[in-house]
Structures are given as structure tokens and as C-alpha cells.
A and B are shown apart, each in its own frame.
Chain A
Amino acid sequence: MDPHSAHSSEADVKTPDLRERTFLPELLKGLAITARHFFKNLFGTRDANVHVLDRNDDSLVTTVQYPEEKVIYPPGYRGLHRLVPREDDPSKPRCVACYMCATICPAQCIYIEAGEYQENDPSTASRVIEKYPTQFVIDELRCIVCGLCVDACPKDAIRMDTGVHTPSEYTRQDFVYDIPKLLKGPGVSHPSDPWFKRGGSEQPAHVHKEAHTRIGEGLVQLKLPHGPRVEIDKSQPVAITKFHK
């Protein structure tokens, strides 16, 4: 741009000319603008497309009428967090009460009390993991929805993939979510999960590692709560041709 534009502020102060001093012409121009908006909106059809920028209408109105028309969340929206259930026993969380999420949480909204599956637990199948949370509480009013807990979790036990925001409640206490409220959605398994170990056998560490890598390559089906979201199209050949030559 012109270098003069930066330091010519004194010259930019307009001295009012006859139109502005008599006031009336400027008033009429202002009224014309208002009237133009009025008639454009009065006669113009309104497109109710919630994507305001994609609207194809004559009206200038950008309102999205909330209960009937809802703004679509952006594709990257995660939503309220949940505790991921174990696939072998969906009544129990994958969480092993390692306190990683509670430690990293900048809002300190996660409270965990750890418990241990007893030797003589009736459901001995649960004992493939030794620790579990007896209390897992998230204060949703404190939560700043930063997602650090999801990143920190070593067991993929907490996720933000529900796609809903915190629903309204009548009391503050109702926003303190405990395990029954948090534990929802389909169960999830990874190849390295301990309940896949055969009894009495010990898989070498590198096998676990390999299994995770395979998920990344799409060779192993990753089980996700909303299947179609990241579903791998098996009918198409894996696109490795571009690595030839």
C-alpha cells in the first residue's frame, strides 16, 4: 500500500461539506439504506439452510431459528467425554486408575479413587486387569474441554467422541458426572488388550507393538463406537500402487 496512508491521519479528518452541514441529505441517505434492507427482507425469500454462507436467497437475514433449525457442528467437533467400556465386559471401564488424566487436567476437574479386583472376585474374568476406578468423577462445569485427558490416557479409556455438548441441568450437582453417567457407548478392544491373552501364555512385548502399528496401517480392523466414521473400505484394494517404481 501507499506509505502515505499510515501518517496522513490529519488529512483524513473530513471537513463537513454543505451536504453534511445541512444534515438533511445525509439523513435521506441513511433512510434509504434502512428502507433497502427493510424491503429486501420483507419480500426476499428466506433460505433456512443452517450453513449461513451457503444460503441462496434474496433475504439478508442470517438467523438460524434454534429449536427448529440447528447449526451443524463442525466436522472436528468431539463433544462430551465418556469412559470407554471394556469389550469383554461392557459394565466395566477400560480405565486402570493410573491417574494420568487427573494429573494432566489443567482444570483439575477429574477425581479418581482406585480399587483392585480381588483374588476371590466372583467375576474372575475381570481380573485380567488388576486396578480399576471405584470412583471416577468429572465436574463438567469445571471441565474446559481441552482434551488433554484423552491424549494422556494410556489405555484409550477416556474419549471425547460423543458429539453432544453438556446437556442443561437444574442443579450444579447434576453436572458432576460419575461412572454410571460417564460409562456409555460401545465397548472397545485393542489387540494388545490383556483379555486377548491366552491363559498361561505371555506374548512378547514386540507383538503388542506390532499390533498397534497394524491398526495404523489399516491391516487390522480398529473397533470404533461409530462404525462408519473411520470404516475402511475393504472392497477397494489397498492403495499401495503409488509406491511402485
Chain B
Amino acid sequence: MKRLGVVGFITGLIVSATFGLMAAAYGLGGLLEKVFFEQFGIVGGSGVSAMLVLMLVFVMVIATLLTLAERKWSALMQDRIGPNRARINLPGIRNQSLAGLPHIATDVVKMLTKEDFQPQAANKFLFNLAPMLAFAPAFALFAVVPAGPTLPVLGYQVQMAVANPDFGLLYIFAIASLAVYGTSLAGWASNNKFALLGGVRASSQMISYEVALGLSLVGMMIAFSTVRLAGVDGMAELQGGYLWHFTTAGGFDIGVPAWGFLLQPLGFVLFFAAAFAETKRAPFDTPEGESEIIGYFVEYSGMKFGLFMIAEFVEVVVLAGVIVAIFFGGYYLPFGNEWLKSREIFVENPWLLGAVFGMVFWLKVVALCYVQLAIRWTFPRFRYDQIQTLGWKILLPVGLVNVFVTGAVVLAAIPAGAEQLPSAALIPYLKPLAIVGLIEIAIVIALTLTPRERTAAEHGHDHHGHGDSHGHSGAHSGHAPVASSASASAH
């Protein structure tokens, strides 16, 4: 019970901090819009506030906390305690481990004070350029991800994304493919065989998965007829609508939201896998491969290595943000959005509504970060040929099939002679798409929950203890032990 209280307190702290920061972001956005418009006569000052608050505060702070979370959460998953030795020598917290938080400070101090080593024969310019090239694209990816709805504050429309270009998703593809330069340059410029091996692995892996990455999102582009993420016709905003819903007596709306992963579950899995390979984290961490080659950053030390490290975690946060914006309803709740929007306090103070939705967005991001870390600590590393097989022989064909199926469903569902597609949440082919998606989800759930089917060869051996024990109990429970041992002796 004590742990429950502590965890609840920390969760409350995070939630309220997110709420407060998002409220501040909207306030700052309105202020900057006002100043920019009155001083320079230009619109778009809220982009600067988004840059400051979303990227420098939210993304960086979450990425920094993830460096600790990776160690602490992995410890909990592996029945360990995790880092808790660093202490702060201040009265009151002198002997508190503070959940390992001081380790972040000690890590920073360590990174900054370590010797900045450069191999003698390395190309100095490229050697120094590589960490920046690895870090910058990961960071810049977040520019088009909206963390909240566009709302009027101080009389100006404030958008909660750094930029909202027409080519939203294409920007993500373009910048994501730039990340390969950092790693391959690091591998090459180090003048080290193992680093080069890591760099070559990284570049081939990332280039292979870019194809699957692009194809996996075509389905979503078809579904929402847009490549924008932010704005009133962006994907995040469209996911605020419902596929099927009803409103209760109190005006509370509840139903199946038009979230991307319900429309395109296959697309979601493909995108997640491909994007995970792009982040170069386990199970796709052959470029690093710490147990075989140390990887492309083997010659880096100090804060240059730290940049590679933090770039990895920034990628985790940004990937979580992109997935939330495309597949998990952006900043919207799965229910009660209309009810929330019609509350008097939110109508009068739109920035409060923005803070609530922004909080929802960041909580979803944190949840997806957890999923990514859990994946990283659950699955073993793929062998190199398995990575290429997965990319070219599985993800790519399945992605193509997904595009064809989505296109066929959309073509079949569009009413004949429709020139202009209706906008917003009334797109006619979302429901057929969602039905296909729900069937796909149901198949996966059914396969997960049902036990493994037995082949004839292993039929008689079910009480020998091989295989998972509960896998034998369900479907074939009709077999009496006597019968199966009889068939075993017949072999």
C-alpha cells in the first residue's frame, strides 16, 4: 500500500506538471502571437513557443528521464532494484535514494568531465560532425507533431506544433532518412574496423526499413486523405471524431473513436516495427551490438558519446509522439471529447482545454515510451540476416498488401459520382476500414489467447512437460491422459 501511495503521488506530480507546462505553453503561445503580430506584423509566433516548450522542455526532459527510466524500468522487469546509490548531500534527503534520480546528474557530470578522446588517424571534422548529425534529425522530427489542438488565446489562434506544413508526414520521412548520416559518418570517421562495421550495418538497416516505413503510412494517408498531422484537417484533429457513438443523458459522448490503430492495425504494426528499426534499439540493435562489435560509436567518449545516447532517447520520445499523433488519437481522449469541449469553463478559457488535451497527449507519449522500453527489454536481438529478411520479405510485401486492401475498401465505399470528399469525421469509408481493422485486431487477439495447436508428431507427448504448459490444456482438453499415453506408446 505504501508503494501504491508513492507511485500515485509521482504519477499525480507528473500529470500536474504536464498540465501546468501545457497551460504555460498556450499562454506563451498567445503572448508570442500577439507580440509578433503587433511588432512585426507576422502570424506564427506560437511556433516559437512550441519550439521552446514542446521540444526543449517536454522532449528533452522526457528523454533525459528516460535515460534513468531505461535502467530503472528494466531493473523492475528483471526483478532487480536498479540504480539507487547516488545520493544528494542535503539535509532531509541525505539518505534517500530518490528513485535513482541523482544518477541523472551524476551521468551528466561524468559525460562532461570525461576525456574527449579523438583517434589519431580519424578525420577530425567528420568525427566531430557525426554526433550532431545523429542528434539533430531525431530532434527536428518533432516539429510537425501537434501536442494540442489549435485554440484561440488572447484573441490569436495558437497552434501547438512548431510548424504545420502541407507535407507533414513527408517531412517526417525526409528527416528520418537524414539520421543515417550521423551513424554512418561516425562509423567511417572513427577509422576503426568495428565502428565501420557498425556504421555499415546501421546504414544498410536504416535504408532497408525506410521503404517499409513509407509504405506502412500510405494506408493512413488514404484513410484520412491528408498527409498533415497538425491543424484542423490534420490526422490528429480528425481522430477526435467517432466511428460509432451515442450520447448519454448528461451529454457525455461515448463510442468507438476514429483512432488510426483501429482503422489501420496492420499499418500500425508495420510502422512501429519499421520505426523501431530506425531508432536502432533492441531487438534491432545490430549496429550497436554491444556483445559482438561495440558499434559505430566505439571511439566516442564524453559528451560526444552522450549525444549519441541522448539522440537514441529523443528518438524514442519522438517516435512515441509521432505514433500517438498518427495512430492513437493525438491529443484526444477516447470518449467525452464533445462533452469536455462544451463545458462552460473550457468555453470561456480555451487554454485550459488545450492544457487538458496536451496533458492527454503527453501521457499517451509516456505510455508509448514504456511500451518501447518494454519491447527493448523483452526481445532478443535479431540476427543481421533476420533483420534484412524482416524488412524486405515480410514488412514490404505486407505493407503493399495493406495499401491494396485499404485502397480497395476505400474505392468500394466511396459513393458513385462523388467529386469532393466530405471533410472531417464524416468520411464515408472510415467505417468499412474500421470493420476490416477490427477484424484484424480480433484475429490477433484470438491467436494470442488461444493455445497453440498441436501437430500429429507431438500429439502424444503432452504430459512430458515440453512446450508451454497452458498451451496444452485448452483446445485438446477432451483427451484423457490415458488416451494420450496410449498414443505415445503406439509411436
Contact = CB atoms under 8 A, between A and B. Distances in A.
6 contacts: A4-B461, A10-B457, A12-B461, A14-B467, A30-B379, A38-B374
B491 A8 contact: yes
B292 interface: no
A90 B30 CA distance: 87
- Interface majority SS (helix, strand, loop, mixed), chain A: helix
A35 B79 contact: no
A42 B3 contact: yes
A45 interface: yes
Given A11-B461, A12-B458, A41-B79, A28 B3 contact: no
Given A8-B491, A19-B448, A46-B81, 20 more contacts: A2-B485, A4-B488, A4-B489, A5-B464, A12-B461, A17-B455, A18-B453, A19-B447, A27-B379, A29-B448, A30-B378, A31-B374, A34-B374, A34-B378, A35-B374, A38-B73, A38-B76, A43-B3, A43-B7, A60-B79
Contact of B491 (A11, A28, A33, A37): A11
Nearest to B471: A19
Given A2-B485, A30-B379, A37-B77, A25 B461 contact: no
B447 A31 contact: no
Contacts of B448: 19, 24-25, 28-29
Contact of A11 (B73, B452, B453, B457): B457
Contacts of B421: none
A27 to B, nearest CB: 7
B114 interface: no
Name the residue in B76, B452, B467 with the highest tally of chain A Cβ atoms < 10 Å from its Cβ.
Answer: B76
A44 B3 contact: yes
A21 B400 CA distance: 19
A62 B488 CA distance: 41
Contacts of B458: 11-12, 14
A15 interface: yes
Given A4-B491, A24-B269, A28-B444, A61 B464 contact: no
Contacts of B489: 4
Interface string B157-196: 0000000000000000000000000000000000000000
A45 B1 CA distance: 8
B375 interface: yes
A28 B448 CA distance: 7
A27 B453 CA distance: 17
Contacts of B485: 2
Nearest to B443: A22
Interface in B370-420: 371, 374-375, 377-379
Contacts of B73: 38
Nearest to A19: B447
A65 interface: yes
A42 B461 contact: no
A97 B38 CA distance: 101
Interface in A52-91: 60-63, 65
A15 B457 CA distance: 9
A12 B444 contact: no
Contacts of B121: none
A33 to B, nearest CB: 8
B473 to A, nearest CB: 15
A62 B485 CA distance: 40
Contacts of A5: 461, 464
Interface string B49-89: 00000000000000000000000010011111100000000
Contacts of A30: 378-379
- Interface majority SS (helix, strand, loop, mixed), chain B: helix
A19 B452 contact: yes
Contacts of B269: 24
A29 B450 CA distance: 11
B76 A42 contact: yes
A59 to B, nearest CB: 8
A61 B84 CA distance: 14
Contacts of A29: 448
B2 interface: yes
Contacts of A61: 79-81
B343 interface: no
B94 interface: no
Name the residue in A12, A44, A62 with the highest tally of chain B Cβ atoms < 10 Å from its Cβ.
Answer: A12
Nearest to A67: B85
B249 interface: no
A224 to B, nearest CB: 39
A209 to B, nearest CB: 58
Contact of A34 (B2, B7, B377): B377
Contact of A17 (B453, B460, B461): B453
B4 interface: yes
A24 B444 contact: yes
A25 B375 contact: no
A44 B79 CA distance: 11
Contacts of A19: 447-448, 450, 452
A28 B80 CA distance: 23
Nearest to A18: B447
A25 B446 CA distance: 9
A36 B177 CA distance: 36
Given A18-B447, A43-B4, A37 B374 contact: no
Given A22-B447, A37-B78, A43-B4, A31 B457 contact: no
Contacts of B447: 18-19, 22, 24-25
B81 A65 contact: yes
